[in-house]
Each structure stands twice: as C-alpha cells, then as structure tokens.
Amino acid sequence: MSPLLEIRDLRIRFRVAGPIRARLKGIDDPFLDAVLGVSFALKPGSTFGLVGESGSGKSTLARAIVGLVPVHSGAILFEGEEAKGGDSDFATRRRHIAMMFQDPVGSLSPRLTVRALITEPFLIHGKDGRDLDAEARRLLDMVGLPANFAGRYPHELSGGQARRIGVARALALAPKLIIADEPTAGLDVSVQGEILNLLVRLQRELGLAYLIITHNLAVIRHVSDELAIMYMGRFVEQGATRDIFENPAHPYTHGLLAAQPLPDPDRRRANVELQGEVPSLARRPKGCEFHTRCPRAIARCRVEIPLPSRLDAGRLVRCHAPLVAPIASTD
C-alpha cells in the first residue's frame, strides 16, 4: 500500500539572529536545527507515534506537515504530492489533514460557540449547501456529546469536553489524517482513557490515520502501530511499537522505558539511566547528540554522527553501539 504521508530527509531550521546581528556578534551559523534528517512513512488507517522530550522537535515536525512552519530541505509528501510555498498550495492538504493542538481549551477560539467552532471548517472550505445545524449535531454525536452543547462557549467546557470538541472539529471535513499533539495533556487519567478510546473507535469506524505526538509512553503503547523516538530533532529509533517496547535498541529508548513508573511497589528502580539535561539546540554536541548522556558511549560516538542502521522488521536505529545488533547500515 502506498503511504498516505511520506517524509523524506526533512530538515527544519529557525533563524535565531538576523543577518546584521549575526555579522556584528560574529555568529557563523545564525540558524538552529529543530528537525534533522527525519524520514518516515505513514500508511492509511494506521497510527504513527512520535515520542520525545520537550523541545525534541515533535511539534515542529507536525506543524511543518500542515505548512505552519517552513521546510528547509527534504520533502513532505501527502498522497504522493508535495506542497511548496504559499497557503494556496496547502489548501488541499489542510482539507485532508486535521491538526489538534496541545491545549484543549486554548485551541478553541474563545468568542465562538461550540456550534460555530465545529462548523468553521465548512465555512473555510466551502459548505456546499450543507445545513450547519445538522452538521453540528452530527459531529457532537460522533464524539459523544449531547446536542445542547452547541450553544456553549469554550470557557464553559471542561478539559475533556473541550478535547472532544477539538476532535469533532477535526472530523468535520472527513479527513484522512489527524495529527494530534499531546491529545491527553492536561486531562485526568480517566478522561485520558475516554479520549483515547474515542480516537481508537473513530479510527476503526472511519479508517482514519493518526500521527500522535506525546511524551506519554503508556499512551503511545496503547494506540500506535509504529513509533519513532525523537532526540534533539533526530529520529534515534523507529519501528513497530511492540518491537521497540519489548526490545529497545537505542540506549535513549531504553532509558526512557526504564524511567517509566511501574505499578509495583516492591520493584524499586535500581538506578536512573538517563542523567543530566538535554544539551541546547544552539550548541549541538559533535558526533552523536546523545553521547553526553549515554551510558554506553564509546570514543567513536564523540566524533562521528551515527547513520540509521537497519534491524529486523523495518526497524531503524541511529547508534554506534545499539542494544540490538543491526543487520546492515543504510545510506
């Protein structure tokens, strides 16, 4: 099956100093890389998870897909088509990809009623004679909210209700892909479960594909088919979710999994594997970005950037000393 979304060697960088300021302050490279050398493919109807710490570039990557952030190099193909340049070029893509932002309430325009919020996509992309009231009822029903929510304002909603409204709005135009940035952030655990079950049910019923961004490993294990672990803008490991959880190959992945709390009071965590802080993106370590915190770092890691090497079953890992032996190095 051809991929719905394909990303090839993507690089996104931000200017941190204007040309004049860079010259005056003697900054050679007034850019920082938020996303570097990222490639992956998302099949229709499947779920891809993006995991990483804050500032690892997950959200930037997602925003670039819908054209909110310019791409420096590489390509983002949606149904084989690349969108370049202006907003008009992204119009089709934005019709078929819906994005949900982190803050459930903050991503809803505060002066609009729920009815206006969830029917906004029809107004943007042409309503084609649809009855907006009927559409609003249909969408509210799909996310399990009563029809009388249509008259409410965002500040009158709880976090879970607001998140459901966000899902309803994302569903309005029957998209093929929903990008969910931290869909469970700021919600009670029981509500998190409800939202995830809702997403899973909608995927089954509508054949949606999801790109889910989170730092919550339990969430991603529950919902995603494939997974990528992101560190300082790079995918350090990617592959089938189950393989990665059962047998992490990258020391960073291993550290993340080991840091997960376990529901067993007797099994104390022996030691914390991940020490220290993520280095600043402005001062990227030489060689492997992770070597400053890596328990397995060898001399080579300090000088040479590891290329993705292939493990079993389409898994890729960027490490000189992976925990699982690679089959072959790519590139």
Partner 1 sequence: MSAEVSRIAPAAAARVGGFVRRIAADPMGCLGLTLVTLLLFTGVFADLLVPYDPIKIAVPERLMDPSWAHPLGTDQLGRDVLSRVIKGSQIALGVAVSAITLSFAGGVILGLLAGYGPRWLDNVLLLLFDAVYSFPSIMLALAIITLLGPSLGTVVLVVVIGSVPVYARLIRTQTLTVKTSEFVLAERSMGAGRFRIMARHILPNVIGPLLIVASMDVPVVITIEAGLSFLGLGVRPPAPSWGRILNDGYTQIRDTPWIVIGGGIPLIVTTLGFTFLGEALRDQLDPKLRKPVG
C-alpha torsion sign, points 154, 155, 159, 161: negative
CA separation for the pair 231, 291 (Å, rounded): 12
Counting contacts by CB under 8 A, is residue 197 touching partner 1? no
> Does 103 sit near partner 1 (CB under 8 A)?
yes
Asked if residues 160 and 89 have their Cβ atoms less than 8 Å apart, the reply is no
* CA dist., res. 84 & res. 72, Å (int): 11
- In this chain, which of 95, 221, 222, 310 binds partner 1, going by CB under 8 A? 95
Question: Please, are residues 230 and 58 in contact by the beta-carbon 8 Å criterion?
Answer: yes
Beta carbon of residue 46, minimum distance to partner 1 (angstroms, whole number)? 21
Positions in 48-67 near partner 1 (CB under 8 A): 63, 66
**Between the CA of residue 64 and those of 12, 59, 177, 216, 238, what are the distances in Å?**
8, 9, 14, 22, 20
According to DSSP, the β-strands at 81-82 and 73-78 are: antiparallel
Give phi and psi for 217, each to the nearest 5. Answer: -70, -35
Q: Which of 20, 25, 28, 87 binds partner 1 (CB under 8 A)?
A: 87
Residue 128 binding partner 1, by CB under 8 A: no
Q: Which residue(s) pair with 177 in the sheet?
A: 97, 209
Secondary structure (3-state) at 68: coil
The verdict on 129 binding partner 1 (CB under 8 A) reads no
Among 24, 27, 91, 134, binds partner 1 (CB under 8 A): 91
Q: Does 18 bind partner 1 (CB under 8 A)?
A: no
Q: Which range, of 8-16, 50-58, 99-107, 142-150, touches partner 1 by CB under 8 A? A: 99-107
Is residue 126 near partner 1 by the rule CB under 8 A? no
Quick one: which segment of 2-10, 97-105, 133-141, 300-308 binds partner 1 (CB under 8 A)?
97-105
Task: Give the nearest distance from C-beta 153 to partner 1 in angstroms.
Answer: 5
Size of the site for partner 1 (CB under 8 A): 28
* The one-letter amino acid at 74: G
Q: Determine how β-strand 226-231 pairs with β-strand 47-52.
A: parallel
Sole binder of partner 1 in the list 27, 124, 174, 262 (CB under 8 A) = 124
Residue recorded with tokens 């590489």 = 74
Looking at the Cβ atoms of 8 and 63, the one nearer to partner 1 is 63
- Rounded to whole angstroms, the Cα distance separating 286 from 293 reads 13
Which x/- pattern over 155-194 shows residues binding partner 1 (rule: CB under 8 A)? Answer: x-------------x-------------------------
Task: Kindly state the tokens that stand for 75.
Answer: 């390509």
In angstroms, the CA 304 to CA 292 distance is 13
From 120, 194, 225, 312, residue interacting with partner 1 (rule: CB under 8 A): 120
Taking the complex as a whole, the smallest distance from the CB of residue 257 to partner 1 amounts, in Å, to 30
DSSP-derived pairing of the beta strands 47-52 and 209-214: parallel
- Site of interaction with partner 1 (CB under 8 A): 63, 66, 68, 87, 90-91, 94-95, 98-103, 106-112, 120-121, 124-125, 153, 155, 169
